Amino acid sequence: MGLSKNHQCYIAVPSHIVNSHLQNMLSSEKKITPSLSRKFKLLLTNPRFWIFLVFLFGFVGLWLDFLPFSQNPCSISRELFTASEFWKQPDGLGYRPCLNFSETSREILKDKTRYLMVVVSGGMNQQRNQIVDAVVIARILEAALVVPIFQVNPIWADESEFSDIFNLDHFKNVLGNDVRIVSSLPSTHVMTRPVEEKRTPLHSSPQWIRSHYTRKLRRDGVLLLRGLDSRLSKDLPSDLQKLRCKVAFHALRFNPSILELGNKLTERMRSKGPFLALHLRMEKDVWVRTGCLPGLSHEYDEMINNERKRRPDLLTSRSNITYHERKLAGLCPLNALEVTRLIKALGAPKGARIYWAGGTPFGGKETLQPLTKEFPHFYNKEDLALPGELETFSKKASLMAAIDYIVCENSDVFMPSHGGNMGHAIQGHRAYAGHKKTITPNKRQMLPHFLNSSLSESEFNKIILDLHKDSLGQPELRKRGRDVTKYPVPECMCNSTTIHSSM
Ligand SMILES: *[C@@H]1O[C@H](CO)[C@@H](O)[C@H](O)[C@H]1NC(C)=O
Ligand SMILES: *[C@@H]1O[C@H](CO)[C@@H](O)[C@H](O)[C@H]1NC(C)=O
Ligand SMILES: *[C@@H]1O[C@H](CO)[C@@H](O)[C@H](O)[C@H]1NC(C)=O
Ligand SMILES: *[C@@H]1O[C@H](CO)[C@@H](O)[C@H](O)[C@H]1NC(C)=O
C-alpha cells in the first residue's frame, strides 16, 4: 500500500531548462507539519479506516448511478469550496447536450447482406477514436458493424478485446437505432474472404466512402478496414456529427468492473473535497517520440538523445528543428517543474488533492519531486488502490488507461501536460458533461516567461494567469477540421439562443 511515499533520493542536477532560482523558490515553501502528516499516514494504513471508506463509497456509488449522464455528480460537494477561485467552474453559457437527430435519418437499416469489419489499433484512446469513426462509416455504408477487433499493440502487448474494456451490451443497446451491431459475422458470410481496403485517404468525405465502397460491399458482403486513424473527415453533416458524439459520450461505456474501480478511486480522491487530475506525459517513449528532453540532468538527456539516434524512425515531431526551438514552439510535454509552476500560478492551493494519470515517468517517480514537494496530497491509481484491487488490471495497459480516464473525467479540474488522444477525449467529454474546468496549457506563449529569471514570482503568476483566462474549458465553437468529440459545440450541444443550421 503506497499512500505513504518515501522520496529518499531525487535528482538534484538541474538541466539548462531548469532554472535553479526557480527551484529555490519552490523549495522555500513551508513543509506540512510532520506530526499531522504522520497521523494521516497512520490513518491511511489502518485497514479499518479503509473498510469504512469502501462501505461509504458503496452507498455513494449506488446513489450516483441514478443520476442522469449530464448531471454533475460533484455539484453538491463543490458548493462547499467556492471560496477558492481555483475550483470555480467556467461559465457553460447554458450549453446542454442535444443530440436531436433530424427525422429523415432515423431509419435503422434491416439489410442483412452487408457487414463492415474493422481492426482498431494503438493505445486505448486511439482505439476509441477509431471505433467512433467505424460506427459512422457503417452508418454511411448502410452496413452492419461487426464488433471491432482489437489489434495487439507490440509496445503494450495488451490482448484485451472490445468486451474486456467496453460494455458490449450497452454499446449495442445505445446504438440500436443507428447501426446494427453484431458480435460476429453470420454463417452465410464467414466463408467469404473479406476484402481488405487499406487505401482510404485521409479525411475522406461520406461521398467518397460511399462511391468507393458500396459496390465492393454489395458484391462481397464484407468489407474489412484497418488503420482508420483520421481516415474519416472531421467535417460531416450534422446528423453524422451527432452520431459521433453519441458513440463517444453515450455508447462507449467502460465495462462494469473497470467502471466500479474507477468510480471507487474517484470517490477516494473526492472524500476530502475537490481534486485536480493531471495527465502527465513523461514516459521515456514520449520524450523519444516528440524529440524533446526531460530536462532532469545531462545524463538523462543523453540517454534520450542516444535512444533517438538508435531509433530515428520513432520521431514523430518535425525533425529539422532543434530541441530548444521545439520547446519554445510549445511542442514538448511539460516536465514536473513546469507543471508545478503552472498550476501554482493558476491558483492551485498547497492543500489541493491531485490525482496524476499516466505511466511511470522516465527517471522514476523521483522526477515528480517538484510536484510532491509543493503539493503533498499527490496520488496515482497505485497509491489509492487497496491491496489486490489493481491486480487483474495491472498487466493490461488499456485497462489501466481506462481507470485513469474515469478518474480524470470525473475530476473537478483536469489538466493534461501535453495534448494527445487521452487529453483530447477527456476535454471533449468534460465539455459535453457541462463544461467542467479543463486547463489547456498555453505552452507556446508561456515558456519564454518560464525562462525569464528576472521575473518575480508574483509577476510570473500574474502573466501566467492572464495567458490562461480563456483556456479553462469554456464553451468553444468547433472550427472546421476539428473533432466534434473534442469540441462538441455547436453540433452536439445547444443553448436556448443557438440557432441550428444543418451542414
Ligand atoms: C448561448 O451561447 C451563446 C454563445 O454561443 C451566448 O452568447 C449566449 O449568451 C448563450 N445563451 C444563454 C441563454 O446562456
Ligand atoms: C435541435 O434542437 C435545436 C434547439 O433545441 C433546434 O434549434 C434545432 O432545429 C434542432 N435540430 C434538429 C435537426 O431537429
Ligand atoms: C522545417 O521544415 C518545415 C517543412 O518541411 C519548414 O516549413 C520549416 O521552415 C523548417 N524549419 C526550419 C527551422 O528549417
Ligand atoms: C523578463 O522580465 C523582465 C521583467 O518583467 C522584463 O523586463 C524582460 O523584458 C523579460 N525578458 C524577456 C527576455 O522576456
Structural domain span for residue 196: 104-251
Q: Are residues 244 and 271 in the same domain?
A: no
Give, for ligand 1, the residue of 498, 499, 500, 501 to mutate: max count of ligand atoms closer than 8 Å to Cβ: 498
pLDDT at 347 over 80: yes
Residue 24 has pLDDT above 50, yes or no: no
For residue 313, tell me if it sits in a domain.
no
Whole-number pLDDT of residue 499:
53
Report pLDDT for 502. Answer: 39
Ligand nearest to the CA of 319: 3
**pLDDT (0 to 100) of residue 227:** 85
For residue 452, the CA-to-ligand 4 centroid distance in Å is 6
Position 47 scores a pLDDT of 52
Last residue of a domain, one of 202, 230, 251: 251
Residue 239 belongs to a domain = yes
CA–centroid distance, residue 113 to ligand 1 (Å): 46
Residue 316 alpha carbon to ligand 4 centre in Å: 33
Ligand 2 centroid to residue 375 C-alpha, Å? 46
CA distance 26 to 142: 59
Q: 148 and 266 in one domain?
A: no
- For the residues 332-359, what does the mean pLDDT come to? 94
* Ligand at shortest distance from the CA of 445: 4
pLDDT at 52 over 60: no
The verdict on residue 153 lying in a domain is yes
Mean pLDDT, residues 426-440: 97
Q: Quick check: CB of 314 below 6 Å from ligand 1? A: no
Residue nearest to atom 10 of ligand 3 (CA): 320
Q: Which of 446, 447, 452 to mutate to test the pocket of ligand 4 (most atoms within 8 A of CB)?
A: 452
- The mean pLDDT of 206-229, rounded to a whole number, is 91
CATH code: domain of residue 160 = 3.40.50.11340
Q: Are residues 167 and 119 in the same domain?
A: yes
From the CB of 93, is ligand 1 less than 6 Å away?
yes
Q: Which residue has the higher pLDDT, 333 or 199?
A: 333
What pLDDT score was predicted for residue 110? 67
Same domain, residue pair 372 and 223: no
Q: Which of 41-45, 101-105, 324-328, 413-417 has the lowest mean pLDDT?
A: 41-45
454 shares its domain with 477: yes
Residue 88 near residue 439 (C-beta atoms within 8 A): no
Of 2-16, 302-316, 464-478, give the range with the top mean pLDDT: 464-478
Among 277-286, 388-397, 407-416, name the most confident range: 407-416
Mean pLDDT, range 471-490, rounded to an integer: 96
- Res 69 pLDDT > 50: no
Q: Give mean pLDDT, residues 6-33.
A: 34
Read off the pLDDT of residues 151-181 as tens digits, 9 standing for 90 and up.
887 666 677 899 999 999 999 999 998 999 9
Nearest CA to ligand 4 atom 13: 452
Examine residue 22 and state whether it is found in any structural domain, yes or no: no
Q: Are residues 180 and 264 in the same domain?
A: no
pLDDT attached to residue 26: 37
- Do 213 and 78 share a domain, yes or no? no
Find out whether 243 and 178 touch, Cβ atoms under 8 Å. Answer: yes
Confidence of residue 72 (pLDDT cuts 50, 70, 90): very low
Q: Are residues 403 and 366 in the same domain?
A: yes
pLDDT (0 to 100) of residue 99 = 92
Residue 166 pairs in a beta bridge with: 254
Atom index in ligand 2 nearest the CA of residue 100 equals: 1
The answer on 364 and 244 residing in a single domain is no
pLDDT at residue 146 tops 80: yes
Query: Is 496 touching ligand 1 by the criterion CB < 6 Å?
Result: yes
Final residue in a domain of this structure, among 207, 233, 251: 251
Give yes or no: residues 370 and 221 share one domain. no
Please give the pLDDT value at position 125: 93
Q: Is the per-residue pLDDT at 79 higher than 90?
A: no
Burial of 317 (0-12, 13-18, 19+ CB in 10 A): middle
298, part of any domain? no
Check pocket membership of 318 for ligand 3, CB cut-off 6 A: yes
Pick from 91-95, 224-228, 379-383, 411-415: least confident: 224-228
Q: How far apart are CA 393 and CA 214, in angstroms?
A: 41
CATH number of residue 430's parent domain? 3.40.50
369 or 13: whose pLDDT is higher? 369
How many structural domains are present in the chain? 2
Residue with the three cell numbers 494527445:
420
Q: Given the CA of residue 494, which atom of ligand 2 is nearest to it?
A: 4
Cell numbers given for 14: 538541474
Instruction: State how far the Cα of 200 lies from the Cα of 209, in Å rounded to an integer.
Output: 8
Query: Which element (helix H / strand E) includes 177?
Result: none
Residue 28 lies in a domain: no
**Does residue 410 contact residue 357 with C-beta atoms inside 8 Å?**
no
Q: Please tell me if the CB atom of residue 94 comes closer than 6 angstroms to any atom of ligand 1.
A: yes
Tell me, in angstroms, the distance from the centre of ligand 2 to residue 487's CA: 18
Say if residue 419's pLDDT is above 70.
Answer: yes
Q: Quote the mean pLDDT of the chain.
A: 82
Q: What is the pLDDT of residue 11?
A: 28
pLDDT in tens, 233-259: 999 999 999 999 999 999 999 999 999
pLDDT at 10: 31
Please give the Cα distance from 341 to 335 (Å, whole number).
Answer: 10
Nearest ligand to the CA of 101 is 2
User: How far are the Cα atoms of 235, 236, 240, 483 from residue 503, in angstroms, in the given order?
Assistant: 9, 8, 10, 15
- Closest by alpha carbon to 265, among 372, 165, 408? 408
Our answer on whether the CB atom of 459 is closer than 6 Å to any ligand 4 atom is yes
| 141: Cβ contacts below 8 Å, ≥ 6 apart | 114, 116, 209, 210, 213, 214, 217, 223
Residue 323 located in a structural domain: no
In the predicted structure, residue 210 carries a pLDDT above the cut 80 = yes
Mean pLDDT of the region 25-31: 36
pLDDT at 413 over 50: yes
Asked if residue 76 and residue 160 are part of one domain, the reply reads no
pLDDT for res 296: 78
Q: 453 in a domain, yes or no? A: yes
Q: What residue owns the CA closest to ligand 1's atom 7?
A: 93
Residues 169 and 260 reside in one and the same domain: no
Atom nearest to 452 CA in ligand 4: 1
Higher pLDDT, residue 59 or 122? 122
